[in-house]
Amino acid sequence: MEAKRQDLNVFGMTCAACSTRVEKSLNKAVGVERANVNLVTESAAVYYDPEQIGPEQLIDIVKHAGYDAAEKMSKEEKDAVLEKQFKREVRRFILSAILALPLLLTMVTHIPYLHHTAFAMGVDEVISPTIQLILATVIQFYIGWRFYDGAYKSLRGKSANMDVLVALGTSAAYFYSLAEYVRQLINPNIEAHYYFETSAILITLILLGKLLESYATSKTTQSIAGLLKLQSKEAVVLRENREWKVPVDELAIGDVILVRPGEKVPIDAVVLTGETSIDESMISGEPVPVEKKAGDTVIGSTVNFDGVIQAKVTKRMDETVLSTIIQLVEEAQGVKAPIQRLADRISGIFVPIVLAIAVLTFVIWMIATGGVLDQSLQVAIAVLVIACPCALGLATPTAIMSGTGKGAESGILFKGGEHLERTAKVDTVIFDKTGTLTEGKLRVVNMLEENANFTRFAVAMEDQSEHPIARAILAYLEDQGVPQVQVEKIRAKAGHGMVGTLDGVKVALGSYRFIANAITIPKGADGEMQTWMQAGQTIVAMSVDDDFAGAFGLLDTPRKEAKEAILRLHELGIKTAIASGDQRVVVENMATELGIDQVYAEQLPNDKSDIVADLQKKGHVIAFVGDGINDAPALATADTGISIGTGTDIAIETGDVTLVGHQLTLIPQTIQLSRATMRNIRQNFFWALAYNCAGIPIAAIGLLAPWVAGLAMAGSSVSVVANALRLKRLKLK
Contacts of 648 (CB under 8 A, 6+ apart): 268, 297, 299, 321
Question: How far does Cα 104 stand from its chain's mean position?
Answer: 44
Q: In 627-730, at which residue ranges do the beta strands (DSSP E only) sit?
A: 640-645, 657-660
**Alpha-carbon distance 221 to 594, whole Å?**
39
Tally DSSP H helices, then E strands, for the chain: 25, 26
Question: How far does Cα 211 stand from its chain's mean position?
Answer: 24
**Alpha-carbon distance 609 to 531, whole Å?**
31
- Bridge partners, residue 506, by sequence: 501
The sign of the torsion formed by the CA atoms of 603, 608, 610, 612 equals positive
The conformation of residue 438, written as its DSSP 8-state character, comes to: B
Composition of the chain by helix, strand, coil, percent to 5: 55, 20, 25
Q: At what angle do helices 162-186 and 373-386 cross, to 10 degrees?
A: 160
3-state secondary structure of 194: coil
272 touches 311 (CB < 8 A): yes
3-state secondary structure of 247: strand
First-residue to last-residue Cα distance in the chain: 44
**Alpha-carbon distance 32 to 16, whole Å?**
21
432 noted as active-site residue: yes
Among 279, 344, 432, 631, the active-site one is 432
642 touches 671 (CB < 8 A): no
Contacts of 524 (CB under 8 A, 6+ apart): none
In angstroms, the Cα distances linking 443 to 13, 402, 543, 553, 617 are: 59, 43, 21, 8, 39
* Angle formed at CA 455 by CA 450 and CA 458, multiple of 5 degrees: 110
**Alpha-carbon distance 530 to 524, whole Å?**
10
**Alpha-carbon distance 431 to 686, whole Å?**
36
208 touches 93 (CB < 8 A): yes
**Alpha-carbon distance 397 to 730, whole Å?**
18
Contacts of 181 (CB under 8 A, 6+ apart): 129, 130, 133, 192, 194
The conformation of residue 299, written as its DSSP 8-state character, comes to: -
In degrees rounded to 5, what are phi and psi of residue 14?
Answer: -120, -20
Helices (H), 387-491: 390-410, 417-423, 454-462, 468-477
Nearest to 556 by CA among 611, 593, 603, 510: 593
**Alpha-carbon distance 330 to 413, whole Å?**
10
In angstroms, the Cα distances linking 161 to 338, 398, 727 are: 22, 19, 29
**Alpha-carbon distance 171 to 195, whole Å?**
11
Contacts of 634 (CB under 8 A, 6+ apart): 430, 432, 579, 605, 608, 609, 611, 612, 624, 626, 641
175 touches 373 (CB < 8 A): no
Strands 497-502 and 487-493: antiparallel
Q: At what angle do helices 390-410 and 666-700 cross, to 10 degrees?
A: 170
**Alpha-carbon distance 292 to 303, whole Å?**
12
In angstroms, the Cα distances linking 644 to 528, 608, 620, 633, 658 are: 35, 17, 22, 15, 6
- Name the residues annotated as catalytic: 432
